Amino acid sequence: MDKSEILEKLRHILVSVLKHEKFEMRDDLSATDVDGWDSLTHMIIITEIEKMFNCRFKLKELNKLGNMGTLIELIQSKL
């Protein structure tokens, strides 16, 4: 799966969980830049990503995520 396909799927998940599209998908996008992506919604987003890409994350891996770019790299490493 190429990066643009992953990005599009991630955008779809964020829109469905956060119920808005006020963000731009780019590598340096972080949770703090996105309205509503907080500690409460984070795990729902993660669960949706796991379901969408049929993979399982470790907490340690999630703790190291800094932005969208590192999230995409992590997903690619699982596919």
Partner 1 sequence: MTFTSFEFALFLPIVFLLYWLVFNKNSNTQNILLLLSSIVFYCMADWKFVSLLAASGFVNFYLAKLIAKKEEGKIRKFIFYSGIVFNIAILFYFKYFNFFVQSFVTLLNYSGVNINFTPFHILLPLGISFFTFQMIGYLIDVNNEEIKPTNDLLSFFTYLAYFPKILSGPIERVQRFLPQIQKKREFDYDIAVDGLRQILWGLFKKMIIADRLTPIVNNIFNNYQTLNGSTLLLGAIFYIISLYADFSGYSDMACGVSKLFNIRITNNFAFPFFSTNISDFWKKWHISLTSWLMDYVFTPLSFILRGYKKIGLAISILITFLIVGLWHGANLTFIVFGFLHGLYFVPIIIKGSMNKNKFIAAGKLIPSASESLGVLGLFLLVSITSIFGRSENIGQALGYLSEIVSPSLFTVPTLTNMQNVLTTMIFIGICILIEWGGREQDHAIAIIGIKWKRTLRSVFYFAIVLAIFWFGGNEQQFIYFQF
- Where on the chain is the footprint of partner 1 (CB under 8 A)? 17-20, 35-36, 38-44, 46-47, 50, 59-60, 62-64
Which CB atom, from 4 or from 19, has the smaller least distance to partner 1? 19
Q: Which residue has the tokens 């800094």?
A: 66
Query: In whole angstroms, what is the distance from residue 79 CA to residue 62 CA?
Result: 16
Instruction: Kindly state the smallest distance separating residue 16's Cβ from partner 1, in Å.
Output: 11
Q: How far is the CB of 7 from partner 1 (least distance, A)?
A: 21
The residue among 68, 77, 54, 65 whose CA lies nearest residue 4 is 68
Q: Which is nearer to partner 1, 41 or 70 (CB)?
A: 41
